[in-house]
Amino acid sequence: MPHAHSAAGGPGPGESGTAPGAGKTVLEHAEISRMLTRIAHEIIERTQGAEQVVLLGIPTRGVPLAARLAAGIEQVEGRAVPHGSLDITMYRDDLRLRPARALGRTQVPPDGIDGRLVVLVDDVLYSGRTVRAALDALNDLGRPRAVQLAVLVDRGHRELPIRPDYVGKNLPTSQQEQVRVLLTEVDGEDAVLLRVAR
């Protein structure tokens, strides 16, 4: 299911069913990999070696991103970085606006998150509501020492006081536009698309 962040339907997964390729390509595979490599380095730098770091991706596309970042950090540090997924469906603030949705998977690394530095990973940062829900979800799993946020694309239009710590690309958009991130693991190709919602 393609992941679209549109103004019309509010934040979060929606607008499914459009064929990949619709819209203007903003980022391609090579740029996406370079950005993820850079973010991996930034995480290592900011956390002095990423020792206590746990990467948690937000389904759907945050999860493969977290895995790629973990692999990137491992390449530099030579040490495996725990990573997993954090489903936020049950914590959303817009549940009652739509029919009940399918749940994603929450998979926390075996050592848990207590006392760790959790880096939340998502594909697009928009209203910030997903991240708020993720903070609530995290609260029920344990008590991290600190929480940081890494996103591939920051498209602006925040509705909550939330800011990312690591950004692949700042992409100025209007609310009429949709940003779609495609990843090989889910969609068969890497790309970031921008298109005007009709």
User: Where do contacts with other proteins occur on this chain (CB under 8 A)?
Assistant: 1, 57, 59-60, 63-64, 66-67, 84-85, 87, 90-91, 95-107, 136, 140-142, 185-186
DSSP for 124-144, please give it.
EESSSHHHHHHHHHHHTT---
Q: How far is the CB of 95 from other proteins (least distance, A)?
A: 6
Q: Which amino acid is at 153?
A: V
Distances (CA, A) of 142 to 86, 118, 150: 12, 11, 20
In the complex, minimum distance from the CB of residue 179 to other proteins, in angstroms, rounded to a whole number = 19
The alpha-helical segments, DSSP class H, found in the chain are: 29-46, 62-77, 129-139, 184-187
> Nearest to residue 70, comparing CAs of 37, 110, 105?
37
Nearer to other proteins, 130 or 173 (CB): 130
- Rounded to whole angstroms, the Cα distance separating 58 from 151 reads 10
Give 85 or 173: the residue with its C-beta nearer to other proteins: 85
155 by Cβ neighbours in 10 Å (0-12 / 13-18 / 19+) ranks as buried
Least distance in angstroms from the C-beta of 92 to other proteins:
9
Nearer to other proteins, 25 or 75 (CB): 75
Nearer Cβ to other proteins, position 97 or 196? 97
Give backbone dihedrals phi and psi of 41, rounded to 5 degrees, phi first: -65, -40
- As measured in angstroms, the least distance from the Cβ of 118 to other proteins is 15
Least distance from other proteins to the Cβ atom of residue 80, Å:
15
Q: Which is nearer to other proteins, 90 or 162 (CB)?
A: 90
Question: Is the CA virtual torsion 102, 20, 23, 153 positive or negative?
Answer: positive
Nearest to other proteins of 67, 124 (CB atom) = 67
Beta carbon of residue 105, minimum distance to other proteins (angstroms, whole number): 5
